[in-house]
Amino acid sequence: MTYLFSDIPASLARVCANKPIHIIISTVLFAAVAYLGIFEQYITNDLPATDSQEVNFYCPPSSSNWELLKSTSDLDKYSNAEHVYLNPLKFKGSTDSFPEFPNLIEDLETSDVDGYVLTDTAVGNLPEVLKNEQGQVFKLRSSNNKLGKYYEYCKSIIVKLQHAIVGAEPLDIVMVLCAYVAMWFTFIQLFYGMRKIGSNFWLAFGSILSSCFAFIFALALTTEILKIKVSLVSLTEGLPFLVSTIGFKHKLAFTAPVVKALNSDPHKDVADIISDVVRSRTAIPLIRDQLIISASFIICSLLVQNLPGLKNFCILASIILAVDLFFTFTFFASILSLKAQIFKVHREIELKEILEEDGISSNVANNVAEVSIDISQTVLKNNRRILGFKIFTVFGFLGLHLFALGTSWLYDDSADFEPIANRDSHLLIAAVKNTITQIPNNGLLLTVLPIKVYSQATALTELEYYVVLIFTTLTTAISDPLISKFLFMIAGISVSINIYLLNATRFHIRSPVSIINQLNSSKPNSSVGNDIVNASTTTSKPSKKTKKKTKKRAENNIQEPLVADVNADNIKEGQIVDENSTADDDSLSENTLSSSDDTVRPLEELTEILKAGNVKDCNNSEVLELVIAGKLPLYALEKQLGNKMRAVVVRRQSIAKFANAPVLLSDRLPFKDYDYDRVFGACCENVIGYVPIPVGVAGPLVIDGKPFHIPVATTEGCLVASAMRGCKAINAGGGVETVLTADGMTRGPCVQFPNLKRAGKAKVWLDSEEGQKKMKAAFNSTSRFARLQHIKTAIAGDSLYIRFKTTTGDAMGMNMISKGVEHSLKCMAEEFGFDDMNVISLSGNYCIDKKAAAINWIEGRGKSIVASADIPSDIVEKVLKSNVDALVELNVSKNLVGSALAGAIGGFNAHAANLLTAIYIATGQDPAQNVESSNCMTLMKKLPNGDLRISVSMPSIEVGTIGGGTVLEPQGAMLELLGIRGPHPTEPGANARQLAKVIASAVLASELSLCSALAAGHLVQSHMQHNRKAPAPLEAVPSAGVSLNSADVERLKEGSKICIRS
């Protein structure tokens, strides 16, 4: 039973999620076929009689008695009679007089026909355009394909509703109205629910589309197979009740766990996630609920046998629920899978573009993008422009459908007029007698054709004319046998290409993490995994056959660098050794570097190999020989060897030789198990390993109502403990409130002019509205993400300093700004009339970067954040072991007055740089930018209720969540811990701004704790207890100039017993 209710739906969902385009297109095609059948059943058969019917009369020779022919078969009796056709005409929109029409016979007895025209053929030669005496233009209209028909159709709908309301009970009207209101509320609730899950539009629309298809298939099944006809009235009254009672809870219940699973493991295959969720969480509950409801409808149909309308609708409702559940596991699963995969590809491409704009090499950007796709924040959220396009497409499709398909059953011009066949015979005969005065000898057969309508030409009719002309032309072209086959072939090719591209994309976005996991689980002595081992432990000169094998393995090394990095990254005594070997001795002898087991070919031969570009075929000892001889530069090892891990190993051996540093032949500087693909071309050159730094976590700290665990990379004891105590105190007061006051990274180039006058003119132009506008256009053209905010200038002699301030999305953005500044200056010189300008430096220290400067403190640079928190007085005493007055006094004396006396610029704080730099290192920021980022003013004051208010103002926090050190996996993991890794999917820059708020809040907690320790006199003792052995007690020497009261003595006694640990 479990297999039936969980495994089968899971297998269905997996197949459909693996082939989403196949399933979606197939379902749409079958739904179209079913829809056409329903259209014929429910629409064509229910069409009201129209005036399209012709009326035939016969008059014998030499007689005036006209006979109305009841059937078209009677026409054969009078085949020898002369046949003429009468065209009734109606002129719509005429206000004064009828248009001039030759041989027009006016009809004064009826209001819906203005006159008649007699013709010899059924088609007739009626003119297309007519004019009346006032110059009004009238055009012959077709009976359908008319844009203006919807106005008339709405009027007819209102009339029909009025008749229906008059004949219905008031209670029935109220109930149906409430059902329709509830149905539309259900639709709104669906969109709101999907929005909470993470999709603004597409999944909600897919849910509705899936249910609509289920309704169409169920209706076709009921009508064609079960031969049960549900009337159109029953559908219009019953469907709103069904939608409002059942709703789309099953779609939400299916979507929410799938999205949650995608969030928790974004690198797992989407089809596997959907299948696992269906099997473990959604299949059995959904099937159980739908079976119960369907059974209820079946029972209801058995109990109301005397009410055929209700019985048939209950049967239809039960089938709709069953088919809808099937479509949930198939069609809707395909939509969910396709949306998630497209989102992954979009995010990967966007991340790659951002990294490349920020100066990361293309290879590294590609590697990072492939494994850094994280859809945890808004897995299926849409860009607003894309959302608008989707809505426009959907409504455009519906509009074209109503226009092209619904014209035959919605409304036409003749709907205003009583059909010819329904008119009184004596009126028609009177019209005929007025028209025909003489009957031929063989009799006269007269056919009264449908009413022809001439409408006054307006803007709407002109628009309709051209739209109809376009559609008519397209229809004629498509109906051509050759063109139709060609279009069908093109559609098939397009579908095939889309399927191929999707399959290729799905393979492309599979995370390399899964490949690594497979490699880790494989046996360590695989031939590919030992390529580097073989390269360094060759015992004799390789034969020709061995060379071929080695070359083939070397090629595999380049194609699969991940394989080589997994099992071949161990070194002992200058040699790559097996992973199971041990190296207890830290200082290994270098004599084994060139052991007798290694055969090193002559330098001349190695040089020839280098020139041929085949260094990767040499063993490590031979590569080392080339490096020591100066033939192969250290920086070129990665390029020549084609394997970054091997390049690190050889470089360590080389530096150990050059610098006489055998420590590099040991593991004291780690180098194993590191992804050097992300380092090369992005973070560091001449890599020989990495330096581990302890990472602690401070928090949780509630920031703007949301808790954050803050990573801190430091070697200073007590720093994390101090921040933890600050977090505890701040959380007890309700957390931190933050405000972003500015966001803009700067670059300040220096340019020079021939004289002061030209420099002044350039400054005035740049400060003007025209100059700002042109420079913005030039700057913004260089990047999709960087946007110039404004330019500030300063002049010194004939030199001009230009400070560009720009937004850079979620990147710190120095590289993309530099590219934009360079292009802007080029345009200024070549296009804006300053060809005598000479660019001295792209960075003229007017930015100002990595230096203390007042301009950053005043104007801001990066993110400008103010963070504040209120600490209850009892928390200050119990947690911080101090009091509010002491903290306020210490802050004024130390952070404000003391810093002012020292001439500090932005240094009005206790130790903001301490925690800021630690977080910078942990999250991959540029540690050198702590100089300006640490600009901070700490303020404290006592509130009227006795509580403490503390705030920090940091105007120049320079951070980013993409580019730079954030491409490294450990640093990226810490950003992921904060929930802000990579670019924000819908609001560029939001992740970087959030990181700045986290840093400012952490600094606030650290400032609070340190100042409390200083006020209570605990600082030295806490460091001694945390970092060192207890010092020998010193003899107390009382100060002659200081008197202590009892409160101070008690406070110091208390401080001697505790430390700053919370």
983-1015 pLDDT, tens digit each: 887 788 999 999 999 999 999 999 999 999 998
For residues 685-695, give the mean pLDDT: 93
Task: Please tell me the distance from the alpha carbon of residue 750 to that of residue 796, in angstroms, as a whole number.
Answer: 10
Specify the pLDDT at position 535. 40
Q: Look at residues 1015, 1011, 1007 and name the one whose alpha carbon lies nearest to residue 1051.
A: 1015
Across the range 380-404, mean pLDDT stands at 52
Identify the top-confidence range among 61-65, 247-251, 345-349, 417-421: 247-251
Query: Cis ω on the peptide bond leading into residue 700 (within 30° of 0)?
Result: yes
pLDDT category, 1054, cuts 50, 70, 90? low
Q: Are 568 and 620 in contact (CB under 8 A)?
A: no
Tell me the C-alpha to C-alpha distance, in Å, between residue 73 and each of 67, 79, 368, 692, 973.
14, 11, 80, 100, 86
User: For residue 55, what pLDDT is reported?
Assistant: 78
pLDDT in the model for residue 552: 42
Which is higher by pLDDT, 561 or 361? 361
Lowest mean pLDDT across 166-170, 314-318, 441-445:
166-170
Reported confidence tier of residue 532, pLDDT bands at 50, 70, 90? very low
Q: What pLDDT shows up at residue 237?
A: 81
- Does the pLDDT value for residue 826 go beyond 90? yes
Confidence label for 530 from pLDDT (cuts 50, 70 and 90):
very low
Burial readout 13-45 (b: 16 or more C-beta within 10 A, e: otherwise):
bbbbbbbbbebbeebeeebeebbeebbebbeee
pLDDT of 43 higher than 60 = no
The pLDDT, as a whole number, for residue 967 is 87
Active site residues: 716, 850, 926, 1023
Task: Please compute, for residue 984, the number of CA atoms within 13 A of its CA located in the half-sphere on the CB side.
Answer: 16
Q: Angle at which helices 249-264 and 331-357 pack, to 10 degrees?
A: 40
User: Regarding the domain delimited by 749-841, which CATH topology (the fold level of the hierarchy) does it fall under?
Assistant: Alpha-Beta Plaits (3.30.70)
Long-range contacts of 122-130 (CB under 8 A, 24+ apart): 122/85, 122/447, 122/449, 124/85, 124/87, 124/449, 126/87, 126/452, 127/101, 130/99, 130/100, 130/101, 130/454
**Do 445 and 56 form a contact (C-beta atoms < 8 A)?**
yes
pLDDT at residue number 526: 37
pLDDT, residue 39, reads 65
Q: Calculate what percentage of the chain has a pLDDT beyond 90.
A: 29
Calpha distance 404→476 (Å, rounded):
14
The percent helix, strand, coil of the chain (3-state, each to 5) is 55, 15, 30
Burial of 910 (0-12, 13-18, 19+ CB in 10 A): buried
Residues whose CB is less than 8 angstroms from the CB of residue 754 and which lie 6 or more positions away in sequence, other chains included? 798, 836
Q: In the prediction, which pLDDT does 132 show?
A: 74
C-alpha–C-alpha distance, residues 997 and 934, integer Å:
13
**Helix-helix angle 20-39:8-18, to 10 degrees:** 100
pLDDT confidence band for 534 (50 / 70 / 90):
very low
Segment 669-698 mean pLDDT: 90
Q: How many residues does the chain have?
A: 1062
Q: Give dist(CA 139, CA 641) in Å, integer.
A: 81
What was the pLDDT predicted at 577?
39
Q: Calculate mean pLDDT across residues 89-114.
A: 65
The span from the CA of 926 to the CA of 958, in Å, is 8
pLDDT > 90? residue 777: yes
Mean predicted confidence (pLDDT) in 223-238:
81
List residues bridging with 738 in a β-sheet: 867
751 band by pLDDT with thresholds 50, 70 and 90: very high
Ordered alpha helix ranges (H), 511-619: 512-521, 531-536, 544-559, 561-567, 603-611
Alpha-carbon torsion angle 972, 977, 980, 982, nearest 10: 20
Maximum CA extent, the chain? 150
Residue 839 has pLDDT above 90, yes or no: yes
Average pLDDT, the chain: 77
State the average pLDDT over residues 341-355. 71
Q: Does the pLDDT of residue 909 top 90, yes or no? A: yes
Give the phi and the psi of residue 316 in degrees, each rounded to 5. Answer: -60, -40
Lowest mean pLDDT among 396-400, 444-448, 710-714, 745-749: 396-400
**Domain ranges across the chain:** 2-43+165-337, 55-142+418-459, 480-507, 530-665, 695-743+860-1029+1043-1055, 749-841
Q: Is the pLDDT of residue 418 over 80?
A: no
Domains 2-43+165-337 and 749-841 share a fold: no
Look at residue 431 and tell me whether its pLDDT is greater than 90. no
Find out whether 1012 and 875 touch, Cβ atoms under 8 Å.
no
Q: What is the reported pLDDT for 1020?
A: 52
Q: Does the structure show a pLDDT above 90 at 945?
A: yes
For 788, phi then psi, to 5°, come to -75, 130
CATH class of residue range 695-743+860-1029+1043-1055: alpha beta
Euclidean distance between CA atoms 211 and 317, whole angstroms = 12
User: For the residues of 582-599, what is the DSSP string, one character each?
Assistant: ----SS--GGGGG-TT--
The confidence score (pLDDT) of residue 98 equals 66
Whether residue 507 is predicted with pLDDT greater than 70 in this model: the reply is no
pTM score above 0.75 = no
Can you read off the two tokens belonging to residue 1003?
A: 């600094």
pLDDT value at residue 497: 72
Environment class of 360 (CB within 10 Å of its CB; exposed 0-12, middle 13-18, buried 19+): buried
pLDDT of residue 179: 87
Strands 67-69 and 55-59: antiparallel
Q: For position 648, what pLDDT does the model report? A: 93
Q: How many CB atoms lie within 10 A of CB 763?
A: 18
**Can you tell me the distance from the alpha carbon of 144 to that of 484, in angstroms, rounded to the nearest whole number?**
24
Domain spanning 2-43+165-337: which CATH class is it, in words? mainly alpha
Task: Report the alpha-carbon angle 599-605-607, nearest 5.
Answer: 115
DSSP character at residue 600: P
Cβ–Cβ under 8 Å, residues 727 and 1005: yes
Q: What is the mean pLDDT of the segment spanning 115-133?
A: 71
The answer to whether the beta carbons of residues 782 and 809 sit under 8 Å apart is: no
| Mean per-residue pLDDT, 757-771 | 94
613-655 pLDDT, tens digit per residue, is 889 889 989 999 999 998 999 989 988 998 899 999 999 999 9
Q: Which of 582-586, 717-721, 785-789 has the lowest mean pLDDT?
A: 582-586
Reported confidence tier of residue 249, pLDDT bands at 50, 70, 90: confident
| Whether the predicted pLDDT of 357 surpasses 80 | no
Residues 301, 696: Cα–Cα separation, whole Å? 67
| Among 226-230, 780-784, 1019-1023, the least confident range | 1019-1023
pLDDT confidence band for 136 (50 / 70 / 90): confident
| Helix (H) / strand (E) containing 832 | none
Q: Per residue in 186-207, pLDDT tens?
A: 999 898 888 888 777 888 888 8
Alpha helices in 75-201 (DSSP H): 149-166, 170-197
Core vs surface per residue 1037-1055: b (16+ CB within 10 A) or e: eeeeeeeeeeeeeebeeeb
Query: Mean pLDDT over residues 754-780, rounded?
Result: 94
Q: What is the pLDDT of residues 264-274, one digit of tens each?
A: 776 677 888 88
Beta strands in 748-786 (DSSP E): 750-752
Q: What pLDDT sits at residue 387?
A: 52
